[in-house]
Amino acid sequence: MRFAVIQFPGSNCDMDTVRAIREVTGAEADLVWHARKDLSDYGAIFLPGGFSYGDYLRPGAIARFAEAMDGVRRAAEDGRLVIGICNGFQILLEAGLLPGAMRHNDHLQFRCEIVPVRVERADTPFTSGYEPGQVIRLPIAHGEGNYYADDGTLEALERRGQVVFRYAGENPNGSRNAVAGIVNEAGNVLGMMPHPERAVHRWLGSEDGRALFVSMWRAGRERQLV
């Protein structure tokens, strides 16, 4: 399976993500410029972290109109894997591929640290390499990760088990229900604020992110994604 990492102007975790995919899975990973429409060659698409378009107006608000988002939408529709990390999560929300929105952190500061995160679902194509309920350590780094959805949406997310990652320690941003990552109903689109691509080697303080890349790679093979 080939991986694509979309590069928007202002993305800054794009290379980190490409490197993590290559190092952990050995699979091919391409940096794909945001102006490319056709992403049909890719079985898995990453929307990386960063400050696309400077995060001006709202994080992700402008990136969602990029041409590559057509390809992302198509991939989401035909069951290929789409994952947004940090700014990528914000883009998926703005694009309506996942429900909800992001507010400023409740303390109004940018927050960067390694935090405990509970894997609520280990039966998704992104998390099969973890144990259900396993608490892992992942870096976060964001100013707007305070997840919001109205009561009805939130209740539905919980009922359908769409909350995949939840902050297990102190809630670092005020996120409702301590949501750190959610999937769509079909289970093939994941958005998460923590950065698995920064936790792939013990020299980096955690290697708990590796299992996510391994899970995706395995799912891609099992589902025979391109």
Partner 1 sequence: MYNEPTAEQIEREALYRQVGMTEEEYRRAVELLGRRPNWLELGLFSVMWSEHCSYKSSRRVLKRFPTEGPQVLQGPGENAGVVDIGDGWAVAFKMESHNHPSAIEPYQGAATGVGGIIRDVFTMGARPVALLDSLRFGPPDDDRQRYLMREVVAGIAGYGNAVGIPTVGGEVKFAERYRNNPLVNAMCVGLMRHEDLARGTARGVGNPVLVVGARTGRDGIHGATFASAEDPLEKERSAVQVGDPFMEKLLLEACLELIATGAVVGIQDLGAAGLTSSGAEMASRAGSGLEIDTALVPRRETGMTPYEVMLSESQERMLVVMERGKESVAGEIFRKWGLEAAVIGRVTDDGMLRVLDGGKVVAEVPVKALVDEAPVYERPAREPEELAVFRSWRWEETPLPERLDEALLALLGSPDLADKEWVWRQYDHMVLASTAVRPGADAAVIWLRGTRKGVAVCTDGPGRYVRLNPLLGGMHAVAEAVRNLVCVGARPLAITDCLNFGNPEKPEVFYQFEQAVEGMSRACEVLGTPVVSGNVSFYNESKGVDVDPTPIVGAVGVVEDMERVCTPAWGPGMIVGLFGPAAPAPEDQGRWLGGSEYLLRVHHLLAGDAPPLDLELERKVQEACLEAIRRGLVAAAHDVSEGGLAVALAEMAIAGGTGAEADLGAVAAGVRPDVLWLGEAGSRIVVALRPEHVEAVRRLAEEAGAPFAVIGRTGGDRLVLRAGAVQADLPVERLRTVWKEAIPWALSENSRVSSSI
Partner 2 sequence: MYTARVYVTLKASVLDPQGRAVERALHALGYGEVRGVRVGKVIDVTVEAPDAGAARRRVEEMGRRLLANPVMETFEIESVKPASGAAVEG
> Could you list the active site residues?
86, 195, 197
Q: Is 104 in the site for partner 2 (CB under 8 A)?
A: yes
Reading the block at residue 22, the tokens are: 């290559």
Nearer to partner 1, 140 or 149 (CB): 140
Q: Say whether residue 108 binds partner 2 (CB under 8 A).
A: yes
Ranges within 32-71 binding partner 1 (CB under 8 A): 49-51, 53-56
CA distance 207 to 138: 8
Residue 181, judged by CB atoms within 10 A of its CB (0-12, 13-18, 19+), counts as buried
Q: Which does 122 bind (CB under 5 to 8 A by kind): partner 2, partner 1, none?
A: none
Q: Which CB atom, from 118 or from 142, has the smaller least distance to partner 1?
A: 142
Q: Are 179 and 163 in contact (CB under 8 A)?
A: yes
Q: Given candidates 14, 16, 55, 94, which one binds partner 2 under the rule CB under 8 A? A: 94
Q: Is 202 exposed, middle or buried (0-12, 13-18, 19+ CB in 10 A)?
A: exposed
User: Residue 10 carries which side chain, given as an amino acid letter?
Assistant: G
Which residues here bind partner 1, judged by CB under 8 A?
9-10, 12-13, 15-16, 19-20, 49-51, 53-56, 109-113, 139, 141, 143, 195, 197-198, 200-201, 203-205
